[in-house]
Structure 1
């Protein structure tokens, strides 16, 4: 199966330059997007939260307020007691804040530090086929915090510290520990979407293990990694699994199907919508210099996202290329194509030699073949952009001015 890319977000003109800084309507002290030129001369390049690729789903962020005195928000506590019955520590549990459409996020405050975890683009909505960029997600979070009597997440103050003899930029504000960046692709039809997922099952990304789940509707890489985890899945079937909603009945709450979500799932099938989603974890964000909200640079995440999304458009070998392989290599390919366990057919050194040579054709014999039998020719699938359907509902983000006492 050969896969080609139809368009790239870095090739089209967006009207926003790389590294641009966009101001929002909040007080200067807590300005999340300072005006251009407001940064000191020693700052090499302004960090940006302007997102040009895809949108965000899950965000995890926290901030410590040394002044204290904040209202405590929690769902109970976990108390640790030693052998003598003395309380060693008390940890507040996250409070599950429920929104409409059976959605929820998690908030916790111990009087000094505020934590937030949740799928912001999904919260209070029946779906998240299309969501919000990072800075709008942050605005939703801050609006929710203020409504609960908590201060919003801010950049804080910036200063230079000396770390092992080298200067390092440090911020006193919020810290970001997880960001999920996601993007939609269209394969053209439901049939092509399933063919494409079967193609992905045979693709390896770097040294990360490839996993397949469900009925081949989800393929992921790097499950369990402390740095990055990414996956591709069909959005239509995923929507149907969550289309049920609870409505009052005579005696019990019986699940009913949301007609809007079902309509949206049918539309996802009709365009062959494939979702690619990447999770940036705390260690990776720290290594990228994006763990501080003040220094958060969405451009760095987008570059990493595009690099890993290459697995979606990696070309596979076609019939003409394979037919001209040397006989030993062609024999190994045919055995792999038939589903044989190559490790039992070849010597260890020969296996790795053939694997290295076949990888240049987009074939990895270390992964079990999922090639369809009796397929007469290479199937070409183009990945294209996805636009919102006319009936789609994407609420407008309400902008609020935070009080000076925060």
Structure 2
């Protein structure tokens, strides 16, 4: 089930006289006429519990909030809020703390008068969605996250959006920098580890309860092989398809724009391969008793692959000793090496079966009423 991972909203109040909210304000004057223009206010960053952040801004007429309502005042957001109404409830609590009117649903939509030669724009009398991220978790199996992400990175999605696989193999983006839509796949356990490391570097010590919970969450994601799928719908797509009007659109209206990964998954079969070096195979089968002996035999096997005549390199006793070891894992150095028959290092190959991730019974699901009673402060 998709849930909302990030949401940018704004609403205009044409009557004005709203309190200015930001970190500083710039008053503007038209030099030729001396007319006072609307002030420019930058955003104020709010910090809640567990280092969560939202940004808020009001220039007297336009109220804007940006952030992740599913993460606000929570230790994590492996699972989040599934409805727009829940997200807006979180935002409205923040607006109320600053004496600003709440985001409201659109009850009317009409064309705004535009300058000559400009295309008429639809506007509403309520809140406008300017960006939204939708997220879903996939269970691919322990240790198979990289194989799945690398496999998916071999495909373009949507209308020719090319993949960008990050060097570590744990993240792949499609449409990075696009004003339309960006899609992402990444390993959730790796992301949680990076955030935990960042938290541990801070001066404030993480409580034992919180640390234990996050470590349990990382273990759960690693055991299940959790890969997160995210779709960042940008303003150009939202306005083109009239998805910006809160109250006039439902969660289901966004779902047709979240199918690119699912479509790609239905056309590709990804396998997870486990490889093992020659030395590791010798040790795992107890052909030799020490790493030193395994490495020595592996070294001679590599020399054989590169065309060396081991009968001339080794004594007769050594040659047959290493030959006997290697034959037990399917390599015969008594024969001339054939590049078309590579040495077996593939131990296992299996098709990755993608499943929806279940919610463990110990997981703390988001509760809007709880997040709205917790304190927060201005960060900058």
What TM-score results when the alignment is normalised by the length of structure 1?
A: 0.63
Q: CA deviation at 1:309?
A: 3.1
| Partner of residue 193, structure 2 | 240
Q: CA deviation at 1:253?
A: 4.6
| Partner of residue 311, structure 1 | 264
> Residues of 2 paired with 1:265 and 1:317: CA distance?
24
| Partner of residue 389, structure 1 | 360
Describe the shift of the 1:170–1:76 C-alpha distance in structure 2 as closer, same or farther (beyond 3 A).
closer
Q: CA deviation at 1:246?
A: 5.7
Higher Rg of the two aligned structures? 2
Secondary structure in structure 1 of the residue aligned to 2:231: strand
| Partner of residue 158, structure 1 | 108
CA contact (8 A) 1:244 1:255 kept: no
Q: CA deviation at 1:303?
A: 1.5
| Partner of residue 40, structure 2 | 91
| Partner of residue 69, structure 2 | 120
> Residues of 1 paired with 2:148 and 2:21: CA distance?
46
Greater share of residues in helix = 2
CA contact (8 A) 2:112 2:123 kept: no
Q: 2:55 aligns with which of 103, 106, 128?
A: 106
How big is the alpha-carbon RMSD for the aligned residues of Structure 1 and Structure 2? 3.4
Describe the shift of the 1:305–1:317 C-alpha distance in structure 2 as closer, same or farther (beyond 3 A).
closer
Q: How many residues align?
A: 289
CA contact (8 A) 2:106 2:245 kept: no
Secondary structure in structure 1 of the residue aligned to 2:74: coil
Describe the shift of the 1:390–1:214 C-alpha distance in structure 2 as closer, same or farther (beyond 3 A).
farther
Describe the shift of the 1:313–1:375 C-alpha distance in structure 2 as closer, same or farther (beyond 3 A).
farther
Matched, 1:284 2:232: no
CA contact (8 A) 1:161 1:169 kept: yes
| Partner of residue 61, structure 1 | 9
CA contact (8 A) 1:171 1:294 kept: no
> Residues of 2 paired with 1:242 and 1:248: CA distance?
10
CA contact (8 A) 2:188 2:228 kept: yes
Matches within 5 A, 1:6-405: 53-78=1-26, 90-133=39-82, 134-161=84-111, 170-189=123-142, 191-205=143-157, 206-244=159-197, 253=204, 258-316=211-269, 379-398=350-369
Secondary structure in structure 2 of the residue aligned to 1:231: strand
Q: Deviations over 1:296-349 (max 9, x none)?
A: 24223112102443223432499xxxxxxxxxxxxxxxxxxxxxxxxxxxxxxx
> Residues of 1 paired with 2:205 and 2:112: CA distance?
61
Describe the shift of the 1:274–1:168 C-alpha distance in structure 2 as closer, same or farther (beyond 3 A).
same
Describe the shift of the 1:119–1:92 C-alpha distance in structure 2 as closer, same or farther (beyond 3 A).
same
Q: CA deviation at 1:173?
A: 1.1
> Residues of 1 paired with 2:109 and 2:30: CA distance?
40
CA contact (8 A) 1:245 1:258 kept: no
| Partner of residue 4, structure 1 | none
Q: CA deviation at 1:374?
A: 6.1
Secondary structure in structure 2 of the residue aligned to 1:185: strand
Q: CA deviation at 1:243?
A: 1.2
Describe the shift of the 1:114–1:265 C-alpha distance in structure 2 as closer, same or farther (beyond 3 A).
same
Stretches of structure 2 that go unaligned for 5 or more consecutive residues are 272-343, 373-380
Secondary structure in structure 1 of the residue aligned to 2:131: strand
> Residues of 2 paired with 1:69 and 1:82: CA distance?
20
> Residues of 2 paired with 1:104 and 1:398: CA distance?
18
> Residues of 2 paired with 1:71 and 1:253: CA distance?
34
| Partner of residue 336, structure 2 | none
> Residues of 1 paired with 2:260 and 2:138: CA distance?
16
> Residues of 1 paired with 2:198 and 2:147: CA distance?
31
What TM-score results when the alignment is normalised by the length of structure 2?
A: 0.67
> Residues of 2 paired with 1:193 and 1:289: CA distance?
36
Secondary structure in structure 2 of the residue aligned to 1:62: strand
CA contact (8 A) 2:151 2:270 kept: no
